[in-house]
Chains A and B, each alone.
Chain A
Amino acid sequence: MSLQILLFLLLLVLGYFIGSYLERKHYRSIIKREAALNVLPAVASKILPAGSESYEQTLVLGNVTISVDYFKRFLATLHNFFGGSVSSYETLLDRARREALLRMKQEAQRLNADLVLNVKYETASIYKGSGSGVGSVEVLAYGTAMIPKRSAT
């Protein structure tokens, strides 16, 4: 019994430190890449700016699956009891959405696109383990990349 409690505490501590380290690292990388990809706008609009040149279109996708750590999952269970906003899952989803969008933009950049129109998100929770509920989420970002005809030879 005491061994179980010890293991539980160990996992909490490890989950907390490694989890928050990984999250900070991920956020740093996201911010850096977002700044680099600022030149390629991804918009939710379906209409091209007036008077723009002619484009080739193609669908671009970006997806990512991210898991929450043991500590945060425990926190979320507590939140389930008391209610309120579950900030540990908020950052999980924020990271996943931004990462998915970045991957989509990277693919668009590889195709020499000027912009991405009609960006949509699709979120799915991946069930893992027994009864713990949401632990990891998959986010897909997709849109139509507009590739100028001059560069698509």
Chain B
Amino acid sequence: MAGLENKMLISNLETIPDRRVVKHLGLVQGSSVRAKHVGRDIMASIKNLFGGELVGYTELLSESREEAMERLVQQAEAVGANAILNVRFSTSSVAQGAAEIYVYGTGVILE
């Protein structure tokens, strides 16, 4: 993530209270595809018998989401935005054992 001073404002609101949007810079996006490793897979098959949380998958998906968000921020920085509004997440399983995390939003310049 960016440094503290010019930290990108990421929000899933369409407008930010008290702040005006100076310029819209269009859609910015980030995605990440991750596959799990074998160890996690074996644990998951055991958990699948008894139910409960699949911690490995939870971690995998949250790491993947972080990576996607980093890419989102990079792209927003590249177009010169200082905030990303109306952020949405989307998940799709592209193959067995691999998931794509997609995050997108509107890059804007706030005053």
* A residues apposed to B, CB below 8 Å: 11, 14-15, 18-19, 22-23, 26, 46, 48, 54-55, 57-59, 61, 63-70, 72, 92, 99, 117-118, 120, 122, 124-129, 135-136, 138, 140, 142-144
In the complex, chain B residues whose CB is within 8 Å of the CB of A67? 44, 47-48, 51-54
Bound together, the chains give a CA A19 to CA B53 distance in angstroms of 11
Instruction: Identify the closest chain A residue to B55 (Cβ).
Output: A65
In the bound complex, residues from chain A placing their C-beta under 8 Å from that of B16 are: 57
Q: Looking at the complex, which one of A11, A46, A59, A122 makes contact with B14 (CB distance below 8 Å)?
A: A46
Tell me, rounded to whole Å, the shortest Cβ–Cβ distance linking B7 to chain A.
9
Known A126-B57, A128-B44, A138-B61: A15·B50 in contact at CB below 8 Å:
yes
| Majority SS at the chain A contact face | strand
A77 to B45, CA, bound (A): 18
Distance, CA A13 to CA B51, complexed state (A): 13
Is chain B's interface secondary structure helix, strand, loop, or mixed overall? mixed
Q: How would residues 20 to 61 of chain B score, 1 for a CB under 8 Å from any chain A CB and 0 otherwise?
A: 000000000000000000000000110111111111011001
Contact of A143 among B12, B51, B53 (CB under 8 A): B12
Question: Contacts A59-B87, A61-B62: A120 and B12 contacting too (C-beta < 8 A)?
Answer: yes
Contact A144/B45 with A63-B61, A66-B54, A122-B91 known, Cβ cut-off 8 Å: no
Give bound CA distance, A81 to B53, whole Å: 27
A-B contact pairs, 19 of them (CB 8 A): A19-B51, A46-B14, A58-B10, A58-B11, A59-B87, A63-B62, A64-B58, A65-B54, A67-B47, A69-B48, A69-B49, A69-B51, A70-B48, A118-B12, A122-B89, A125-B93, A126-B99, A136-B57, A138-B58
How many angstroms from the CA of A72 to the CA of B48 in the assembled complex? 11
Q: For chain B, residues 60 to 75, give those with C-beta under 8 angstroms from any C-beta of chain A.
A: 61-62, 65
Task: List residues of chain B with CB within 8 A of the CB of A65.
Answer: 53-55, 57-58, 61
* Cβ-defined contact, A70 with B45, below 8 A: no
